[in-house]
């Protein structure tokens, strides 16, 4: 079946450290891949996305590259800030034109805490 696996948290880093949150997927066909971020007490915000192999999504200093050969979409940031403390969710959807439903398939989320 289709699934998303994220590295388990919590992840604790010092400010300005390099961040990697691993995400791998299993899917039939060619999924679109997403990273969502949830700050404490808030809803989910789309952080970045990629819709085909080798695409790189980027936003707010975060990047992730769609790697079909390794079925991965790892999230990276070169220098984290205290304000990046949040829960990060990796997710996928399958192409609509292949008769798939529009359901997001979620990873379990990774909690990030950045200390000053």
Partner 1 sequence: DAMVIQNPRYQVTQFGKPVTLSCSQTLNHNVMYWYQQKSSQAPKLLFHYYDKDFNNEADTPDNFQSRRPNTSFCFLDIRSPGLGDAAMYLCATSSDRDSSTDTQYFGPGTRLTVL
Interface positions with partner 1 (CB under 8 A): 32, 34, 36, 38, 41-46, 49, 51, 87, 89, 93, 95-97, 101-104, 106-109, 111
Q: How far apart are CA 9 and CA 91, in angstroms?
A: 16
What letter would DSSP give residue 15?
T
Closer CB to partner 1, 53 or 79, in the complex:
53
Q: How far apart are the first and last CA of the chain?
A: 41
- The least CB distance from residue 77 to partner 1, in Å, is 20
Closer CB to partner 1, 48 or 80, in the complex:
48
Closer CB to partner 1, 62 or 93, in the complex:
93
Burial class (CB in 10 A: 0-12, 13-18, 19+), 66: buried
- The least CB distance from residue 21 to partner 1, in Å, is 15
- The least CB distance from residue 78 to partner 1, in Å, is 25
C-alpha angle 108-102-10 in degrees, rounded to nearest 5: 10
């Amino acid at each position: 079946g289709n699934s998303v696996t994220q590295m388990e948290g919590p992840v604790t880093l010092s400010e300005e450290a390099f961040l990697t949150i691993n995400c791998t997927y299993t899917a039939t066909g060619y999924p679109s891949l997403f990273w969502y971020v949830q700050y404490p007490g808030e809803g989910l915000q789309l952080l970045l996305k990629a819709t085909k192999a080798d695409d790189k999504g980027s936003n707010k200093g975060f990047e992730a590259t769609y790697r079909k050969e390794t079925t991965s979409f790892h999230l990276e940031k070169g220098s984290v800030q205290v304000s990046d403390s949040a829960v990060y969710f990796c997710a996928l959807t399958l192409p609509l034109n292949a008769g798939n439903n529009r359901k997001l398939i979620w990873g379990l989320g990774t909690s990030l805490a950045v200390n000053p």
